Amino acid sequence: MNRLRNIYDSKTLTARLQQEPFQRITLSFYRYVKIETPFAFRDELYEAFSSLGVLGRIYVATEGINAQLSVPENSFSAFWNYLDNHEKFSGVALKTAVEDNRFSFIKLKIKVRNKILADGLNDDTFDVTKTGAHLSAKEFNAAMENRETIVVDMRNNYESEVGYFKGAILPDTDTFKETLPKVVEMLSGKKNNKILLYCTGGIRCEKASAYLKHVGFTDVNQLGGGIIQYTHQVREQNLETKFIGKNFVFDDRLGERITDDVISHCYHCGTKSDIHRNCANVQCHELFIQCEDCATEMHGCHSDECKAVFEASLAD
């Protein structure tokens, strides 16, 4: 039996990744589906995925699964066969990364949670299956042309600061749990307008669109497959992209380049930059934007205090 947890440090895992002779595919998927025994299901997934060399982060709950993964190219067929032949996953939609490298994840981590998305909602109070209409990239673009249409970013502020749809409402929130009530407040008096929701891969819009319909919004729509699928469709169909900048992603890449527009600024010097970093001081690990010059000067730290701690750790 495969081990059901990682036992190696990040240095060892990174070195292994660098030595791999094959390419990897970064992808994500989610599904709301009843999972009766999430802990046993978690162990089943860990055994199956680790045997295929899959890395990534997965959340499992009684309500379903939310996964971001790095799959070896030479194991992809076996990976897809496993999913498609599984009663919980058959026909699940996979979203492949817009930009990719083998360093999106260095280990496999599967956690059991109360919910696969921390939304702060009581699902017993509304029908979570009555979601908004799922729009393709072409349909989303066309709907944006109507002056009465309202486009809403369902992501956190650190995601939208590096990229967004032109003219979208950008709630200034740190978590999805905060975003939904903020959006309802911002849309006060607009219940009959056409509402277009979007997020990274679509999972946040599933709950958000169902909730907006529940509280009385009459024309709720969501971007099918999120920004990831939108970008693939735009490029494949040679459509105009109405999203500018970068798409923030929740793996070690921290972003995918969608257009050449740089719409954010370095937290230190104020020059244009959209490079997210986690503070090099491991006791801090704050997420922030920092240009290359400041990263060199600050050793990848977000404050002078963190820089001092980091430099002291090098001297030890």
- Position 313 scores a pLDDT of 85
Contact 256, 163 (CB under 8 A): no
What single-letter amino acid sits at 127? D
- The domains of the chain, with CATH numbers, are 10-112 (3.30.70.100), 123-237 (3.40.250.10), 276-315 (no CATH)
pLDDT tens digit string along 96-116? 999 988 889 999 999 999 999
* Cα gap 270→251, rounded to integer Å: 25
Instruction: State pTM to two decimals.
Output: 0.92
User: Which is it for strands 163-165 and 133-135: parallel, antiparallel or unpaired?
Assistant: unpaired
**Mean pLDDT, the chain, as a whole number?**
95
Is-catalytic flag, 199? Answer: yes
pLDDT tens digit string along 45-100? 999 999 999 999 999 999 999 999 999 999 999 999 999 999 999 999 999 999 98
DSSP string, 152-213: EE-S-HHHHTTEEETT-B----SSHHHHHHHHHHHTTT-TTSEEEEE-SSSHHHHHHHHHHH
- Position 1 scores a pLDDT of 41
What single-letter amino acid sits at 308? A
- Position 3 scores a pLDDT of 66
* CA neighbours closer than 13 Å in the CB half-sphere of residue 99: 14
Q: Which of 199, 205, 291, 306 is catalytic?
A: 199
Contact 63, 203 (CB under 8 A): no
